[in-house]
Structure 1
Amino acid sequence: MADTKETILAVRGLKVNFSTPDGTVEAVKGIDLDVRTGETLAVVGESGSGKSQTMMGIMGLLAKNGTVTGSATYRGQELVGLPAKALNQVRGAKVTMIFQEPMTSLDPLYPVGRQIAEPIVHHRGGTFKQARARVLELLELVGIPEPARRIDSYPHELSGGQRQRVMIAMALANDPDLLIADEPTTALDVTIQAQILDLLKSLQKRFGMAIVLITHDLGIVKHFADRVAVMRRGEVVEKGTTADIFERPQADYTKMLLAAEPSGRKASPPDSAPIILEGRDVCVDYQIGGGLFRGGKSVFRAVDSVHLRLKEGQTIGVVGESGSGKSTLGRALLRLLPSSGHYRFGTTDISGFDRGQMRPLRRTLQLVFQDPYGSLSPRRTVGEIITEGLHVHEPELTRADRDRRASEALKEVGLDPASRNRYPHEFSGGQRQRIAIARAMILKPKVVILDEPTSALDRSVQGQVIELLRDLQRSHGLSYIFISHDLSVVKAMSDYVIVMKNGKIVEEGETDAIFEAPKQPYTKTLIGAAFNV
């Protein structure tokens, strides 16, 4: 049936190159693609495969050091090399694009209504005031609550899902023929992700537009796309219908991507395993409001009377949407922020411990952050970063001792010990996460809290990090608290799961019980959104 549809975008021999001080980088190496009316083409592959640069090249949005050659015709009109004035008649009108991170794509200085109105005024003429009715219609169309109020809101006043809906409204402003969606749901919780995908599907059906979906999440592709193009290192290695790609993949790389979905189960520790970390009646309050021109302060309870008991060798997965209190709970358990409740580490009651009393315990209670690039100092070498804790907890070590320990830690996480003299920006995202893990492991901890450690990684790299964490846990008898909104990763990593909402635990239990027979509607919604059931 798809073969009878008209091709609206034909890409032939497209190349994208970047001039760098080290020479020319070939980002896209002469690819061919077709997009047909009313269909969804998914372009998949790992970071650096050339997915986004292909579309940026077609849209004339490359960085100044980038060049595009070859052909990309939209309904017979060549876009490559088209003067900016002529290209602007197409992009933003007939071909539009929504980007991965709406917070960086939306201007923080202007209300979202004005930003949605901008392409309307540019392509249709008139004033911003005249475009207001169309903007309200668009906000309602994409499901923004109270559009008459939200039209004057600034981006920071909206949630992540609402900001992504604003981006979609902006892209739909002029009834496009083709919508390019570049990782439109990567930073969103699974329930919001499902809502955005359902919204795109319904809008596609309503307006008959074609969609190019750029993503590394094959779970989304399987349920959303009609056809798939698989990219690797700037080349298309395989393309076909979604059913063919998932059921009968031909390229080894495609098979690897499909096999990279998190799998396996973690066995529970024996019932006799001792409790290594416990928090009872954990509460965390934040004061909000107040200030010179504002009213009195109010209290927001981020974590509300939570009980958690972690056994030696156990992995507890903590899941829930953004704002559910997952990360705050993790920091409270490590006594890194003011909180109330009763805390015990092993046989020691640490409820009343101050910073000085907690300091000797820090080496055995470690935290690995979500964004390794943000948590690794760009001014220090990897060796200096990894050994930072040794200066505090083992000050008697010589420089040679620390260097040896850094080499051992890097080797244990699968990195070349010689890389300890390099800087974080010289490593990939997956490698940076391994460095962050090495920084924690060098101190020989007993408990590690992992806060979204794989959310920013490609599926194949996620799989490698998960295997690494499993190996380290087996080798050192570690106990993990694994915080994530990615339920497939939690399912593979954890033997016990806690589901949080609005600071409270709404359901908990053995992993299989939670995923196969959830009792609470909220848990059922999370699992349904994550696994498309």
Structure 2
Amino acid sequence: MDKQSILEVRGLNVEFETNDGVVHAVKGIDLDVKPGEAVAIVGESGSGKSQTTMAMMGLLASNGRARGSARYRGQELIGLSERKLNRVRGEKITMIFQEPMTSLDPLYRIGRQIAEPLIHHRGMSAKAARARVIELLDLVGIPNPERRVDSYPHEMSGGQRQRVMIAMALANDPDVLIADEPTTALDVTIQAQILALLAELQQKLGMAIVFITHDLGIVRRFADRVYVMRSGEVVEEGATETLFGAPKHPYTKMLLAAEPTGRKAAPPAEAQVLLEGRDVEVVFAAGGGWFSRSAGEVRAVDHISVALRQGQTIGIVGESGSGKSTLGRALLRLLPSEGTVRFVGQDISDADKRAMRPLRKELQLVFQDPFGSLSPRMTVGQVVTEGLKVHEPSLPARERDRRAVEALKEVGLDPAMRNRYPHEFSGGQRQRIAIARAMILKPKVVVLDEPTSALDRSVQKQIVDLLRDLQKAHDLSYLFISHDLAVVRAMADHIIVMRQGKIVEEGPTEAIFDNPQEPYTQALMAAAIDGTPFREGVVEA
């Protein structure tokens, strides 16, 4: 074994027994991690990135099996008994996951959850473990750790929950930290904070980090070396700057070229205003909790005015909790609001469900998570034509099917697939299905709420291209809500920047990106496009 490697993988294979036969998820890969090194494993969904590390940790699903070798400081992990594995994982090798809310138990306070590995691996008393937990919360930048130690996961923001997961992973001073897409669901500023925190902790503690991601921008700023995976195989490996500067494999070149490009022209100044909000306000009742501005209410949208013209795309950006999605739903009259909302000149501010129903086909919404918004019990054909049954109930079944075929073709899907179910499709295909469901009704306005955030970069580019093509073909107007500024820049001709329910800054896209005036906007842009590395060099063991 290479004495310099703390983790060495040779000929690792991962297979899963399924109803359709054996699925070969990882195909004989080799991988090395040195002490104090940051190694990135990149590739699209299904490439085998996560299964590689899950196999090392003995965390494969019950129908999975691993073959080959994965050694930690010379100790073979593949085939190791559960009892012996538990001496390594959680203490020497730890892991943080993409979505902390699925990893944190909602019924237990965070202090208890962080203390668990301390009590289990080190035999600490509850009192000593609590003191260590407060130290860890302070280390990862949680404010008021003495108080927040008793918080429940739902009482914390997404960025804070991810910091809690990092604190839990660091509890026993591990040699290797595996971070599996730890920033994908976070806003750009929070993402930058988490990555900077990991880099700082790595330098301070001297641990190695294995970083799994599909975001190459993060990789370039964070990793020393990169492994590129595709279909279970490593297709290219090398030092980060070498790989980015002179990629050799066509797949690596494709990934690097997958950034959404192009700029959208603004509509004519005389273009009709389709959807307009004046002094829109949304207030939610609250109990005077952590995020309330005052006891009793949260002002999610605070007197905002916006006018969307025909053929225009307004990008709404800001961090989680800024009110982006709430504003979009208020303008669609999907939740109560104060102020005035007009659609094609008609005041719909006080329209009830019955009055809104005829307008719904012209005001459509596409969600962030297509899997959550598509009924698993309905075929794709049924999902796409569901709106037609509501808005055109007299339409014959044959005509509905014809329109479904047309809609699926328009979004780039094979209509022959319309008798399949949503779980049989990839994330990008499911988002196309969700778009087809909206487009079949021939809407005037579509609110797109984070429609690409859960997708791989190359798939994001495809969806952006599709949305632009549909807009051009049907003269659509979009409200595009996102925290991904690269996608927003490619989609929108006008930007609204929101923070704490208010508009901080707005204007033409290029003006906002090239010359932001407000400090908050400047911070957003810096977090998204700053090329400064989060870490410099390799920490020696």
Q: Aligned AA for 1:57?
A: A
Kept in 2, the 8 Å contact 1:287–1:297? The answer is no
Aligned position for 1:109:
107
Aligned position for 2:447:
449
Are 1:193 and 2:227 matched, yes or no? no
* Alignment CA distance shift 1:5-1:145 (3 Å): farther
1:524 & 1:175 partners in 2: Cα distance?
36
Kept in 2, the 8 Å contact 1:6–1:37? The answer is yes
Q: Aligned AA for 1:223?
A: R
Instruction: Indicate which of 111, 119, 129 corresponds to 2:117.
Output: 119
Instruction: Indicate which of 27, 30, 41 corresponds to 1:29.
Output: 27
Q: Aligned AA for 2:118?
A: I
Deviation string 1:261-294 (CA, Å, 9 cap, x unpaired) is 111111111112121111110111112239xxxx
Kept in 2, the 8 Å contact 1:45–1:230? The answer is yes
Kept in 2, the 8 Å contact 1:283–1:306? The answer is yes
Q: CA deviation at 1:109?
A: 2.1
> Equivalent residues in 2 for 1:39-50 (5 A)?
39-50=37-48
Moved more, 5-14 or 506-515: 5-14
Aligned position for 2:536:
none
* Alignment CA distance shift 1:428-1:317 (3 Å): same
Q: Identical aligned pairs, as a percentage?
A: 72
2:84 & 2:500 partners in 1: Cα distance?
50
2:124 & 2:340 partners in 1: Cα distance?
63
Q: Aligned AA for 1:213?
A: F
Aligned position for 1:383:
381
| DSSP-derived class of the 2:91 partner | coil
Q: Aligned AA for 1:480?
A: Y
* Alignment CA distance shift 1:519-1:120 (3 Å): same
1:438 & 1:249 partners in 2: Cα distance?
36
Aligned position for 1:7:
5
Q: CA deviation at 1:150?
A: 1.1
Q: Aligned AA for 1:352?
A: D
> Equivalent residues in 2 for 1:250-289 (5 A)?
250-289=248-287
Kept in 2, the 8 Å contact 1:5–1:36? The answer is no
Q: Aligned AA for 1:48?
A: G
| DSSP-derived class of the 1:42 partner | strand
Q: Aligned AA for 1:339?
A: S
Aligned position for 1:293:
none
Deviation string 1:317-371 (CA, Å, 9 cap, x unpaired) is 0000111110111011111111111122123232332222221111111111111
Q: CA deviation at 1:133?
A: 1.6
| DSSP-derived class of the 1:240 partner | strand
Kept in 2, the 8 Å contact 1:452–1:485? The answer is yes
| DSSP-derived class of the 1:26 partner | strand
Aligned position for 1:135:
133
Deviation string 1:131-188 (CA, Å, 9 cap, x unpaired) is 2221111111111111111111121121111111111111111111111100011111
Q: Aligned AA for 1:390?
A: L
Kept in 2, the 8 Å contact 1:230–1:254? The answer is yes
Aligned position for 1:162:
160
Q: CA deviation at 1:5?
A: 8.7
Q: CA deviation at 1:94?
A: 1.2
| DSSP-derived class of the 1:317 partner | strand
2:344 & 2:449 partners in 1: Cα distance?
22
| DSSP-derived class of the 1:7 partner | coil
Moved more, 128-137 or 463-472: 128-137
| DSSP-derived class of the 1:363 partner | helix
Aligned position for 1:220:
218
Aligned position for 2:334:
336
Q: Aligned AA for 1:238?
A: E
| DSSP-derived class of the 1:525 partner | helix
| DSSP-derived class of the 1:211 partner | strand
| DSSP-derived class of the 1:507 partner | strand
Aligned position for 2:143:
145
1:303 & 1:361 partners in 2: Cα distance?
23
Q: CA deviation at 1:436?
A: 0.5
1:289 & 1:123 partners in 2: Cα distance?
39
Q: CA deviation at 1:531?
A: 1.4
Instruction: Indicate which of 166, 181, 184 corresponds to 1:183.
Output: 181
Q: Aligned AA for 1:348?
A: Q
Aligned position for 2:206:
208
| DSSP-derived class of the 1:374 partner | helix
2:389 & 2:227 partners in 1: Cα distance?
50
Aligned position for 2:69:
71
Superposition RMSD in Å: 1.4
Instruction: Indicate which of 401, 404, 417 corresponds to 1:403.
Output: 401
After TM superposition, the runs of 4+ consecutive aligned structure 1 residues lying more than 6 A away are none
1:22 & 1:138 partners in 2: Cα distance?
46
Aligned position for 1:370:
368
Q: Aligned AA for 2:416?
A: A
Are 1:491 and 2:485 matched, yes or no? no
Aligned position for 1:360:
358
* Alignment CA distance shift 1:90-1:272 (3 Å): same
1:94 & 1:285 partners in 2: Cα distance?
47
2:140 & 2:26 partners in 1: Cα distance?
34
Q: Aligned AA for 1:211?
A: I
Q: Aligned AA for 2:194?
A: I
Deviation string 1:25-80 (CA, Å, 9 cap, x unpaired) is 10100000010111100000000000000000001111111111101111111111
2:328 & 2:3 partners in 1: Cα distance?
52
Aligned position for 2:298:
300
